[in-house]
């Protein structure tokens, strides 16, 4: 496949600065009444020589409650690469406002184990700007390679929704959208295989290990400022937690995907069900998972992890 | 369709066939015998043993055993015991109890921990050493206190304290101290939750109980039988040479001789209320948190004879199993369902060859789910790899002196209670149809584990 041209950044962008810039951009366009561009940037942002911070990785692993190995957890690679994806979304020519975007789903191919000592090149670009019945959705692609190697190690596609933003000229999707408004379908919770008690500090704790200080996750006040009634858990925290529960170590190459439904307002009791498929010899093939509000039965997320 | 089918439709699992995965019969160089046992009465948590530490209670049980069998200054081959809830200062709990006892200080000891199977596993480990001729005598045991449980400082405070210990300058120390936040000051108490699922043991069992469609009434009946059997055993003086009073308690404080089905039926469900499963498990048909300790004296025939000690039973064999409970392939407490068929197959026995069954009553639902699985044709075929159901046991032989629902369950102490109780029952029965009376013990444990053992009368 052909790649967009690379716009190589000098170093890893700071997420907190990106959030400040995003807020400033939002204010500026509101004040000046600027019209958003209607197409995505054609090139990709790239950062070379990225090295994980071992202390941060250990904190991340311990937050998820599993043994800390030297191989980077799949969700941690997402967190490591996230500033590059965000740097794409705050570019002036990016047509959607970053703040308030809703995480709809993630698809990841984890093609090989990545040690924390491995310097990597991270590349990210946006694609598939499409209409959603609640707004406009966009996909952010992230690719991770060993520094100086063409071989792909990790590839993630995150789908975000800018709620209430309708861009002229953007095609309607062929299929019905997923996400918050599709969550009201009939869902009967199965028997749980696990129960997560998520405290009010879950968002702050994940922000501290992932660097994702999006205000909607940090506190009731900061969430209210962005129109949420309470703070909510990061989608990537839920994904990482369920991946940890699916089991480890996983095979060298595996894929996973998760679709988010009703947001998890904190504090919360999230019930999960994980169903494994194995070969006749007991070798893991895949796991289906679903998480829901243990009290109300509303679905929060569902997805799959499978051997590649 | 069976409960098992309902839960596993469309998925193939390898079986835990009793003959294909078990060890081959061992070469038994000699016998290991149960000489006797001693425990302190078990007390509900927060009652008479509230201020008693694991060290206190294990020492009390050991003192009673030493006194009963005249072991003062005796150098025992090895003492093995453990506790599930253990303070870090008790890293050498058993050796410290030995040093504080009347046993020879030259008696070695080790700690063992296998959740609720700790006590039975100490018996099996020492019996194996005796069989192999490595030791002549052994004392197995276990203790637990839910009242005097270790409480850790929060993770945040713990990290601060550890960093502070490593700091060299005053500036570094002040910087580290400044990291303490109010929430760091709240303590971290142990919980009964399974680390990998976040579900409590009761919630796990509630799922299994519902899966096997065990009724509330069947559970209450089992709980009632436990109280009635234990009360009758006390009335007949059965525990007189198995128990040493402690802190003014001379029988298990959880025992309710006047319990009734009506009283049990009035209790509200305690587990499974939020799980979508039918809620049938109450405080009455679940074991309470309990404090207590138990010990068992083991020896070679030669050692027991030379010390003029009784020989109640032979420890024939033991088997441990584990299940993949994390995503619900099997129930958390269902490992004995696999351990027992393997153990019996290795010893060419069936359930019909036993005169007593001691199935630990973690919950009434655990015992009844275990029996249901053994009686299930489909489970026998698909999971045990047998031609049909493993079999049904004669309920009149089950937990005839009461079990954990009545006595309580100080986690690591239960194995010692079961072994000493069964050994005495077997010795009292003597022979059945020309063969020694035979008994089976099965104990489930956290982490999806289970241990089973066979004893025979002498």
State the pLDDT at residue A30: 62
Identify all chain A residues contacting B274, using CB atoms and an 8 Å cutoff.
Answer: 269, 271, 294-295
Instruction: Identify the band that residue A66 occupies on the pLDDT scale cut at 50, 70 and 90.
Output: confident
Can you tell me the distance from the alpha carbon of A56 to that of A80, in angstroms, rounded to the nearest whole number? 10
How much of chain B exceeds pLDDT 90, in percent? 79
Task: For residues B93-119, give the mean pLDDT.
Answer: 96
Higher pLDDT, B138 or A278: B138
Asked if omega into A267 is within 30° of 0 (cis), the reply is yes
* Calculated CA dihedral for residues B417, B316, B223, B203, nearest 10 degrees: 90
Spatial separation of the C-alpha atoms in residues B204 and B447, rounded to whole Å: 11
Contact between B274 and A294 using a beta-carbon 8 Å cutoff: yes
pTM assigned to the model: 0.86
- Give me the residue from A191, A274, A282 closest to B275, CB to CB: A191
* Partners of residue A287 in chain B, C-beta under 8 Å: 327
Instruction: Give percent of chain B with pLDDT exceeding 70.
Output: 93
CB contact under 8 A, B274 and A295: yes
Residue A141's CB is within 10 A of a number of other CB atoms, namely 20
Region B284-299: mean pLDDT is 97
- Judging contacts by C-beta atoms under 8 Å, the chain B residues touching residue A193 are 197, 199, 326-328
Token duo for residue A208: 């501290």
Are A281 and B328 inside 8 Å of each other by CB?
no
Query: Is residue B5 very low, low, confident or very high in pLDDT (cuts 50, 70, 90)?
Result: very low
B10: nearest CA partner in chain A:
A277
Which chain A residue has the Cα nearest residue B278?
A191
> How many helices (H) does chain A have, and how many strands (E)?
6, 11
Domain hosting residue A214, numbered range: 6-167+178-307
Say whether residue A249 is in contact with chain B using an 8 A CB cutoff.
Answer: no
Asked if A58 has any chain B CB less than 8 Å from its own CB, the reply is no
Asked if residue A172 is part of any domain, the answer here is: no
CB contact under 8 A, B198 and A189: no
Residue B419 near residue B50 (C-beta atoms within 8 A): no
Strand B32-39 to strand B313-322: parallel, antiparallel, or no bridges (unpaired)? antiparallel
Which residues in chain B are closer than 8 Å to A68, comparing Cβ atoms?
none
CA geometry: angle B410, B273, A231, nearest 5 deg = 105
- Residue numbers in B near A197 (CB within 8 A): 198
Cβ–Cβ contact B326 with A under 8 A: yes
List chain A residues with CB under 8 Å of B385: none
Q: For the domain that residue A232 is a member of, what is the CATH number?
A: 3.10.129.10
Residue A180 scores a pLDDT above 50: no
Counting the structural domains of chain A, the total is 1
Å between A103 CA and nearest CA of chain B: 26
Q: How far apart are CA B137 and CA B306, in angstroms?
A: 12
| Res. B320: pLDDT tops 60 | yes
Q: Which of residues 160-199 of A touch B (CB under 8 A)?
A: 189-197
Q: Is the pLDDT confidence value at B255 over 80? A: yes
**Would A144 be classed as within a structural domain?**
yes
Say if residue B274's pLDDT is above 70: no
- Whole-number pLDDT of residue B275: 57
- What pLDDT sits at residue A11? 87
Is position A221 within any domain?
yes
Complex ipTM > 0.90: no
- B210/A191 CB distance under 8 A: yes
Tens of pLDDT, residue by residue over A112-164, are: 999 999 999 999 999 999 999 889 999 999 999 999 999 999 999 999 999 88
Is B207 close to A65, i.e. CB distance below 8 A? no
- For residues A10 and A100, which has the higher predicted lDDT (pLDDT)? A10
- Whole-angstrom distance, CA of residue B109 vs CA of residue B140: 10
Taking residue A129's Cβ as centre, other Cβ atoms within 10 Å add up to 20
State whether residue B196 sits within 8 Å of chain A by CB: yes
Beta carbons of B11 and A277 less than 8 Å apart? yes
Q: Is the pLDDT of residue A262 over 50?
A: yes
Give residue B452's pLDDT. 98
Cβ contact, residue pair A277, B198, below 8 Å: no
Report A:218-237 residues touching B (Cβ under 8 A).
none
pLDDT tens track for A279-290: 888 889 999 999
Q: Does A294 touch chain B (CB under 8 A)?
A: yes
In a mutational test of the B interface, the residue from A191, A238, A250, A284 whose CB has the highest number of chain B CBs within 10 Å is A191
**Contact between chains at B196 and A280 (C-beta distance less than 8 A):** no
- Which of A89-103, A169-183, B266-280, B422-436 reaches the highest mean pLDDT? B422-436
In sign, the C-alpha dihedral spanning A69, A71, A74, A76 is: positive
A-chain residues near B14 (CB < 8 A): 280-282
Using the Cβ of B9 and the Cβ atoms of chain A, whether some distance falls under 8 Å is answered with no
Cβ pair B336, B327 in contact under 8 A? no
Q: What is the pLDDT confidence band of residue B176, given thresholds at 50, 70 and 90?
A: confident
Average pLDDT over residues B203-221: 95
Catalytic residues of B: 116, 409, 444
More confident position, A41 or B399? B399
Q: Do A295 and B195 touch (CB under 8 A)?
A: no
Segment among A172-186, A193-207, A210-224, B178-192 with least mean pLDDT: A172-186
Closest Cβ opposite residue B327 in set A193, A294, A295: A193
Nearest chain A Cα to B196, which residue?
A245
The reply to whether A132 falls in a domain is yes
């Amino acid at each position: 496949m052909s790649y967009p041209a690379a716009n190589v950044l000098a170093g890893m962008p700071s997420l907190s600065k990106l959030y400040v810039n995003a807020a400033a951009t939002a204010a500026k366009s509101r004040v000046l009444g600027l019209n958003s561009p209607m197409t995505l940037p054609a090139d990709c942002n790239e950062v070379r020589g990225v090295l994980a911070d071992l202390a941060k990785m250990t904190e991340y692993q311990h937050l998820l409650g599993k043994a800390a190995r030297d191989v980077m957890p799949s969700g941690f690679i997402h967190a490591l690469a996230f500033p590059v994806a965000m740097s794409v979304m705050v570019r002036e020519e990016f047509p959607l406002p970053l703040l308030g975007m809703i995480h709809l789903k993630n698809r990841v191919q984890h093609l090989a184990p990545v040690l924390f000592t491995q310097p990597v090149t991270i590349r990210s670009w946006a694609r598939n700007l499409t209409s959603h019945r609640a707004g406009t959705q966009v996909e952010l692609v992230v690719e991770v390679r060993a520094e100086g190697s063409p071989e792909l190690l990790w590839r993630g596609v995150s789908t975000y929704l800018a709620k209430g933003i309708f861009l002229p000229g953007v095609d309607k999707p062929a299929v019905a959208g997923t996400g918050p408004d599709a969550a009201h379908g009939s869902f009967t919770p199965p028997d749980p295989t696990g129960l997560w008690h998520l405290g009010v500090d879950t968002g702050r704790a994940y922000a501290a290990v992932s660097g994702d200080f999006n205000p909607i996750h940090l506190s009731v006040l900061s969430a209210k400022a962005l129109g949420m009634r309470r703070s909510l858990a990061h989608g990537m925290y839920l994904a990482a937690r369920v991946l940890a529960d699916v089991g480890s170590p996983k095979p060298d190459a595996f894929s996973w995907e998760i679709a988010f439904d009703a947001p998890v307002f904190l504090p919360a009791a999230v019930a999960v069900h994980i169903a494994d498929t194995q070969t006749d010899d007991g070798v893991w093939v895949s796991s289906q998972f679903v998480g829901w509000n243990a009290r109300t039965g509303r679905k929060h997320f569902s997805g799959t992890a499978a051997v590649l | 369709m069976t409960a098992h089918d309902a839960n596993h439709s469309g998925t193939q699992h390898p079986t835990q066939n009793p003959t294909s995965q078990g060890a081959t019969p061992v070469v038994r160089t000699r016998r290991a015998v149960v000489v006797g046992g001693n425990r302190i009465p078990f007390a509900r948590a927060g009652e008479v043993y509230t201020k008693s530490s694991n060290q206190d209670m294990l020492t009390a049980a050991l003192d009673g055993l030493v006194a009963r069998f005249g072991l003062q200054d005796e150098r025992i081959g090895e003492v093995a015991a453990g506790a599930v809830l253990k303070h870090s200062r008790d890293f050498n709990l058993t050796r410290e109890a030995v040093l504080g006892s009347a046993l020879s200080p030259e008696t070695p000891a080790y700690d063992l921990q296998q959740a609720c199977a700790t006590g039975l596993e100490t018996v099996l480990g020492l019996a194996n050493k005796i069989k192999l001729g490595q030791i002549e005598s052994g004392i197995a045991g276990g203790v637990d206190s839910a009242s005097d449980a270790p409480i850790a400082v929060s993770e945040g405070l713990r990290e601060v304290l550890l960093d502070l210990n490593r700091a060299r300058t005053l500036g570094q120390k002040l910087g580290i101290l400044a990291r303490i936040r109010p929430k760091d000051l709240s303590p971290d108490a142990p919980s009964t939750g399974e680390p990998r699922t976040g579900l409590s043991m009761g919630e796990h069992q509630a799922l299994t109980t519902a899966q096997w469609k065990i009724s509330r009434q069947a559970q209450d009946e089992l709980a009632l039988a436990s109280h009635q059997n234990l009360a009758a055993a006390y009335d007949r003086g059965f525990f007189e040479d198995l128990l040493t009073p402690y802190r003014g308690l001379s029988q298990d404080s959880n025992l309710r001789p006047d319990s009734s089905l009506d009283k049990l039926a009035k209790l509200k469900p305690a587990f499974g209320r939020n799980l979508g499963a039918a809620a049938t498990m109450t405080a009455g048909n679940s074991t309470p948190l309990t404090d207590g300790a138990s010990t068992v004296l083991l020896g070679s025939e030669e050692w027991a004879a030379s010390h003029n000690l009784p020989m109640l039973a032979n420890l024939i064999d033991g088997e441990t199993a584990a299940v993949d409970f994390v995503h619900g392939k099997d129930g958390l407490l269902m490992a004995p369902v696999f351990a027992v068929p393997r153990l019996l197959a290795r010893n060419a026995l069936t359930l019909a060859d036993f005169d007593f069954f001691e199935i630990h009553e973690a919950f009434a639902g655990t015992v009844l789910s275990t029996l249901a699985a053994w009686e299930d044709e489909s489970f026998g075929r698909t999971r045990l790899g047998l031609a049909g159901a493993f079999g049904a046991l004669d309920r009149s032989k089950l937990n005839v002196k009461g079990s954990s629902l009545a006595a309580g369950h100080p986690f690591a102490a239960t194995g010692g209670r079961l072994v000493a109780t069964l050994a005495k029952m077997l010795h009292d029965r003597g022979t059945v149809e020309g063969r020694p009376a035979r008994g089976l013990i099965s104990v489930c444990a956290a982490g999806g584990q289970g241990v089973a053992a066979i004893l025979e009368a002498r």
